[in-house]
Structures are given as C-alpha cells and as structure tokens.
C-alpha cells in the first residue's frame, strides 16, 4: 500500500494523492474514535491525561 501511494505522489496524479489523503484521514479518525470509546468505557475512572 505504501509503495503504491509513494508512486502516486511521484507521478503527481491527483487521484492517488487524494486516496492517500483519505487513507490518512481515515486512520486518524479511527484512532480518535477508539480513544473516545476508551474514555466512554472508563467514565468511572479519572482520565490519565488530565
């Protein structure tokens, strides 16, 4: 997957760059949602980061 996306950036093709951006956004969103779910499941415990 990474090799294909790097080739797309080298070719400057907008579709591959857009796919890479969407993949990055999707990964960030998944991490954010998993963190939020962990916070919701541990409401009785005080958050560690605060």
Total-model pTM: 0.48
**pLDDT tens track for 1-50:** 455 555 555 566 678 788 889 999 999 999 999 998 887 776 666 666 65
Q: How far apart are CA 44 and CA 32, in angstroms?
A: 20
State the residue for tokens 């999707």.
26
Q: How far apart are CA 38 and CA 24, in angstroms?
A: 21
Q: How far apart are CA 50 and CA 26, in angstroms?
A: 26
What is the structure's pLDDT at 11?
Answer: 60
What is the structure's pLDDT at 1?
Answer: 46
Q: How far apart are CA 1 and CA 42, in angstroms?
A: 35
17 C-beta neighbours (distance < 10 Å), count: 14
């Amino acid at each position: 997957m990474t090799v294909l996306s790097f080739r797309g950036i080298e070719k400057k093709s907008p579709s591959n760059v857009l796919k890479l951006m969407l993949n990055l956004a999707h990964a960030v969103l998944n991490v954010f949602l998993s963190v939020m779910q962990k916070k919701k499941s541990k409401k009785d415990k005080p958050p560690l980061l605060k």
